[in-house]
Amino acid sequence: MPESLARVSSNNRAKLLELPTVEIALGVAVILILLGLRWFYVTTQPWNSDEPQHLHVVWAWANGLLPYKDVFDNHSPLFQAMSAPLFRLLGERADIVVAMRWAMLPIAVLLIGTTYWIGARLFSVRAGFWGALLAASFPDLYAKLGEYRPDLFWAALWLGSLAILIGGKITPARLFAVGFVFGVAFSVSMKTTFLLLDTRPSAAQTNQSKKCADYCRYAEAHPS
């Protein structure tokens, strides 16, 4: 982790512990409830038609077949290729969807954790804390967090790239890291293209806002 990101993360942890005990306890209770419901829904939530489709491609990777040549798929290959070793370890089984759903839990935690970090960085630790909990509790997102699909990994990568961008001063090393994560995200989903098209105008607007703020500070310091 870059030094600036580590420093910001350390400050965020310290400020998080400064929240009222009741507030922290309520947040922990929400997390425990969500985890308990996940234990229930991972086996009872109906399968989405996308899940067997993705797992069919994973099965192809695990059995030495080459997607786009031996089997058809309309997605980028990285996520399915990464899942193939675990699929091969688990073997072909009737409950493979449930088993692979559990494998998505770390990605879901990363996604929600990055949501907290961005909120804490841009606004406040309290905003990041409750923003992450509200996001995790949102019914549509909560349902998708329990499914086996590349969209979760893609969303985590996208949020990760935004976290790197706002983590400190823009430097060549930071831009390289963001570009690398963008490349990985594109290897997971080609929908990255549409978000990239929106990134440049947003970055330009942010840069313009910074210039305006600098001008205002200069004008206040040097009144004419």
pLDDT tens, residue by residue, 60-112 = 999 999 888 888 888 888 999 999 999 999 988 888 999 999 999 999 999 99
Contacts of 116 (CB under 8 A, 6+ apart): 128, 129, 131, 132
DSSP code string of 42-86: HHHSPPPTHHHHHHHHHHHHHTT--BTTTB--SS-SHHHHHHHHH
pLDDT tens, residue by residue, 182-218 = 999 999 988 788 777 766 554 444 444 444 444 445 4
- Each domain of the chain, given as residue ranges in start order, spans 3-190
pTM of the model as a whole:
0.76
At 194, list the tokens.
């549409």
What CA–CA distance (Å, rounded) separates 58 from 98?
Answer: 15
pLDDT tens, residue by residue, 110-148 = 999 999 999 988 888 888 999 999 999 999 889 889 899
Res 208: pLDDT: 46
